[in-house]
Structure 1
Amino acid sequence: MSLHVESEGAGPDLVLLHGWAMHSGIWRDVRERLARHFRLHLVDLPGHGFSSPYRANLEQGIMEYSVESVAEILPEDCILCGWSLGGQIAIELAKRDPARVRKLALISTTPCFVKTDDWQWGMEAGTLQLFGINLKRDYKGTLNRFLTLQISGGSNTAAVLARLRKSVFERGKPDEIALEEGLRLLLLSDMRGTVTSISQPVLLIHGEKDVITHPGAAKWMNQQLPHSELMILDDCGHAPFLSYPDQFVKHMLRLKGCDN
């Protein structure tokens, strides 16, 4: 497996993991500013961006495959930041290797994407299932609808949506198998038990009007994690680093111990 990783800047190592259907180019609005304070490592997850395609097998699902692939390139004593699905991968890595992952930032992350009888902060399972069906019928149309959901509820939505649409295909067409397996993971994963075992300091950044991962999920994690800090951004959807890059960078600098 070959992961595409771009590194720049100086300071504590900060690894950035993107979300479903995207790639590390999505961080461009905050990349330069973060690189003034951190040694950045921008990762394209398996089957996304310039990384090798994901090939499913019976013994290893996409979560396990992604976790093992990222673990191979993680610097020692790093800060790990994951957005949405990337946040779930970051949670698993932090649990498995707490000596290497010393701090964690979870952006628009939920431990469980789907609403259940004992979890009210998820999406309806039918919504995700429909995305999977439509992905095979109308690939680009389905991704565009998903991008529109990401900015729903926030401010400056037209500009943010334009940046998302520009980004999604600029490194080529994402691997369809990776997208399908990623959706299946979102449907089936429940990391509530894993989250409670995280011992590292955790920064939670979430949009107040996120319709993909409800802010209630971030509040729940904040209550479960004894060393966590929660930042809720007003009038913000699923991509706070695009909607409010200045605030995002300011909050991320808390992980370094500075706030300017």
Structure 2
Amino acid sequence: MSRPLVLLHGWGLTPAVWQPLLDALPKTLDVHTPALPGHAQATAAAPGIAAWTEALLAQIPHDAVVCGWSLGAMVALDLAARHPSHVARLILIGSTPRFVSTTSRDHGDAWPHGLDPAVADDFAARFDHDPAATMQRFVALQALGDARRRAVTTALTAALSDTGAEGARALADGLQVLTTTDLRPAIARITRPTLLLHGDGDALMPLAAAQWLAAHLPRARLLPLAGCGHAPFLSQAADCAAAIGRFTLE
């Protein structure tokens, strides 16, 4: 029997975003799709990567193949660093150790492979003012650079999490996790085999971020996906499912 496969979605979405990938994965796999804290009616957690990982821990079997996308990939990295018994293998989609860029003047080590801090601050302010409209902007950014941009936009929009008052508060916490987390110091502790899937047209998180992870994770390999944006598992579901299935069963 294969190891359990856990899929962790990204910020602002629900586990429904995985449906095209689930349809393409081998039916023999034991797949788990927990919701991130505060998403899809899941209980909220304090705004910190450690608290989010702890909130999900009970839903992640031991010795699982953990596949995270975007913010879910950051949670997967934190899980592998602090709870390695839960992680047999890692699959990281559209991933980065740090979402927001920084210079050596305001941080110990410069990180050029992220979103400009001013853009991140503006996004947070817009979200506070109009969560629903800001989520649509975020969807557009995730689909940018994808050859199947319209289809990806449709799929992401259909899987958006609730932006009502309670949902918006939880999503604001998640946005804080996304923009304040820096997992670079933890990377050296992650020794599990890792597969990185990354769209070569990703406009939200550049391919260079995944290349950095591939160079610094000791057992990682990177598979760039041509013509894909930030959600390659939507635009190339069959190819992603094949790669994930092979890696899970190795």
- TM-score normalised by structure 2 residue count: 0.92
Q: Indicate which of 217, 222, 238 corresponds to 2:214.
A: 222
**Residues 86-101 of structure 1: pairs in structure 2 closer than 5 A:** 86-101=72-87
Equivalent residue for 2:119, pick from 127, 131, 139: 127
1:230 partner letter: L
Of residues 138, 142, 145 in structure 2, which corresponds to 1:146? 138
Partner SS state of residue 120, structure 2: helix
Tell me the secondary structure at the aligned position of residue 105 of structure 1: strand
How much has 1:27 moved relative to structure 2?
0.2
Gaps of 5+ in 1: 1-9
3-state secondary structure, aligned to 1:99: helix
Secondary structure class of the residue paired with 2:59: coil
Question: How many angstroms does 1:55 deviate by?
Answer: 5.3
Amino acid at match of 1:32: D
Is 1:102 the counterpart of 2:58 in the alignment?
no
Deviates more, 1:27-36 or 1:206-215: 27-36
In structure 2, what is the equivalent of residue 40 of structure 1? 31
Aligned residues: 243
In structure 2, distance between residues paired with 1:66 and 1:35 = 29
Q: Is the counterpart of residue 203 in structure 1 residue 195 in structure 2? A: yes
Equivalent residue number for residue 171 of structure 2 = 179
Deviations 1:110-145 (A, max 9, x none): 001111121111110111111111112111110000
When the two chains are superposed, the root-mean-square deviation of aligned CA atoms in Å is: 1.7
Q: CA deviation at 1:32?
A: 2.9
SS at match of 1:175: helix
Between the aligned partners of 2:38 and 2:195, the Cα distance in structure 1 is: 27
Give 1:11 deviation, angstroms.
Answer: 3.5
Name the amino acid aligned to 1:90.
A
On the 8 A contact 1:12/1:37 being kept in 2, the answer is no
CA distance in 2, matches of 1:17, 1:213: 17
- State the partner residue of 1:68: 54
> Cα distance, 1:172 vs. partner?
7.2
The 8 Å contact of residues 141 and 203 in structure 2, kept in 1 or not, is answered as yes
SS of the residue aligned with 1:123? coil
SS at match of 1:220: helix
Could you tell me which runs of 5 or more consecutive residues in structure 2 were left unpaired when the two chains were aligned: 104-109
TM-score normalised over the length of structure 1: 0.88
Separation in 1, partners of 2:79, 2:168 = 24
- Report what 1:239 is aligned to: 231
Question: Which consecutive segments of 4 or more residues in structure 1 shift more than 3 A?
Answer: 171-174
What is the CA–CA distance in structure 1 between the aligned matches of 2:28 and 2:48, rounded to whole Å? 32
Tell me the CA shift for residue 257 of structure 1.
Answer: 3.8
Secondary structure of the structure 2 residue equivalent to 1:112: coil
Partners of 1:256 and 1:88 in 2: CA distance: 19
